[in-house]
Amino acid sequence: MQAFPIEKFRNLQTPFYFYDIELLRKTLQVVVLEAAKYDYHIHYAVKANKNPRILSIIREMGLGADCVSGGEIETVLNEGFSAEKVVFAGVGKTDWEINLGLEKDIFCFNVESIPELVVINHLACAKNTIARVALRINPEIDSHTHHYITTGIKDNKFGINLDQLDRVLDMLSTLSSIQLVGIHFHIGSQIMDLTPFRLLCSQVNELQQKFIQRGIFLKHINFGGGLGIDYENPDENPIPSFREYFNVFRTHFFVLNNQQIHFELGRSIVGQCGNLISKVLYVKEGSVKRFVILDAGFTELIRPAFYESYHVIENLSLEEATDVYDVVGPICESSDCFAKQRVLKKTYRGDIIAIRSAGAYGEVMASQYNCRQLPKSHFSDC
C-alpha cells in the first residue's frame, strides 16, 4: 500500500488532489527510455491533466504536447513546451484556434474532415503561410469484438472514414496552403488488451500502400494514445508496460526509411500518480444500506458518475475491522456515488479517504456545480 503523509493531510483543507511526484517521474523515465529505443516521439495528451506542476515535470522530460483546443495550446506554450512539438486534434476547431496554431507555428494539425481542411487552407493562405497537416483517419476497427474501443469505429464522429480517403486526397492536391505531413489515429482510451493496437498496425500497413500508390510519402505516422492503467491494482501495477505497448508497434508496423513514429499518451502517464483525498462527513445508516458520505463529490472526480468507472478507495485510518458501504458525495444528484457495496475499514466521521488512480481525467474535469470551490492540489515532494 502506498504510504500517504496522513498527519500532513489532517492539517489541509479537504477535498484536494495529492500527486505522487516520485511516481510521475519514474513513469516518465520509463516512457522516455522505452520510446528512445525506437526513436518514437511522445506528445503528452494535455486533456488528461493540465495541473501546472505536472505539466512542468512532463516538459522537463522532453515530451511534446497533444492539444484538443486553443486553450490547451496557450496553456502548454505558457508552460514552456516548444511549438514544434505541439499537435492539435479535434473535430470542431474554431477559426481563432486554427489562427493561433498558425501564428505559433505548431508542428501539426490533425485534421478530421474535408470542410476543416478547406478552412485551414483558407486561413493559412490569408496569413501567407503553409499549414502542416496530418489526416486523422478512422481505422474502423470492429467494436463488436473489442467493445472498449470507442473512437475508432465507423459510426462515430472522429476522423475521416476510409471510404472518403480518395476524395480527401484528390481535394488536397488543390489546396495550395496545406502540406500533408502524415496520418493520425486514435482508437480509444483505457485499452488494456493490446490486440486493438495490433489490428491498428495491420490497418495502417495497408493504408500506407494506398499512399505509396498515389506517390505520397508520409513522413509522420501518429498512433495516438489509449494505453490503459490498472485501476484495480494501483500498488501492484503503478507503471503501465510501455515496453510491451511500444513493442506491438515495433513488431507489427512496417516503418519506412526516414519515417517518424508518434504517440499521444495521456492516462498512462499521469493516471496513477494522482489521488483524490477526502474526509468522511457522516456515516449514515439507511434501512438497507450503510452510506459513507464524503466531502468530495463528482464535482472533484466525475469518472464514477460519468463512466461508471472503478477506483480503489482506501480509508487511511489504523482501524482493523471492515464493513460494507456505499461511498457517496454531497452533491444533489443520485449519480454522485463513488462506489456501491464496497468493503472499507470500519469508517467514522473525520476519517481520511484516498480515492486512487485519479491523476487522469480527474482534477481537469472538476466543476463548480452547487457553487463548490475547485479542489486544490498538493504534492508528495513539497
**Would you list which residues are annotated within the binding site for pyridoxal 5'-phosphate?**
226, 264-267, 361
- Stretches 120-128, 159-167, 205-213, 258-266: which one binds ligand PLP (CB under 6 A)? 258-266
Taking CB under 6 A as the rule, which mask of x and - marks residues 183-202 in contact with ligand PLP? ---x--x-------------
**If binding is defined by CB under 6 A, does position 208 make contact with ligand PLP?**
no
Cell numbers at residue 229, please?
492503467
201 catalytic residue (yes or no)? no
Residue of 20, 97, 112, 264 interacting with ligand PLP (CB under 6 A) = 264
Residue 225 DSSP class? -
Rounded least distance, CB 226 to ligand PLP, Å: 4
Residues facing residue 325 across a β-bridge: 342
Q: Helix, strand, or coil here: 266?
A: coil
68 binds ligand PLP (CB under 6 A): yes
Q: Which residues of 185-223 are buried (b: 16+ CB within 10 A; e: fewer)?
A: bbbbbbbeebebbebbbebbeebbeebeeeeeebebbbb
**Could you give phi then psi for residue 283, rounded to 5 degrees?**
-110, 115
Selecting among 332, 337, 371, 382, the annotated active-site residue is: 332
Instruction: Report the distance separating Cα 98 and Cα 146, nearest Å.
Output: 34
Q: Are 27 and 54 in contact (CB under 8 A)?
A: no
- Asked whether the beta carbons of 6 and 352 are under 8 A apart, the reply is yes
Here the cell at position 17 is 488532489
Q: How many residues does the chain have?
A: 382
Nearer to ligand PLP, 222 or 315 (CB): 222
Cell of 323: 464493513
DSSP state of 359: T
**Residue 77 CB, nearest approach to ligand PLP (Å):** 19
Encoded one letter per residue, x for contact with ligand PLP by CB under 6 A and - for no contact, window 312-351 reads ----------------------------------------
303 binds ligand PLP (CB under 6 A): no
Site for ligand PLP, residues 38 to 57, rule: CB under 6 A: 45, 47-48
Other CB atoms closer than 10 Å to residue 45's CB: what's the count?
A: 28
Burial class (CB in 10 A: 0-12, 13-18, 19+), 26: middle
Annotated binding residues for substrate: 267, 303, 307, 333, 361
Would you list the DSSP string of 256-321? PTT-EEEEEESHHHHGGGEEEEEEEEEEEE-SS-EEEEES--TTT--HHHHH-----EEE-S----
* Binding of residue 300 to ligand PLP (CB under 6 A): no
Q: Does 89 bind ligand PLP (CB under 6 A)?
A: yes
Q: How far is the CB of 89 from ligand PLP (least distance, A)?
A: 4
Closest to ligand PLP by CB, 292 or 360: 360
The residue among 186 and 303 lying less far from ligand PLP, judged by its C-beta, is 186
Considering the rule CB under 6 A, would residue 97 count as an interface residue with ligand PLP?
no
Which residues are marked as active site?
Answer: 332
Contacting positions for ligand PLP (CB under 6 A): 45, 47-48, 66, 68, 89, 186, 189, 224-227, 264-268, 360
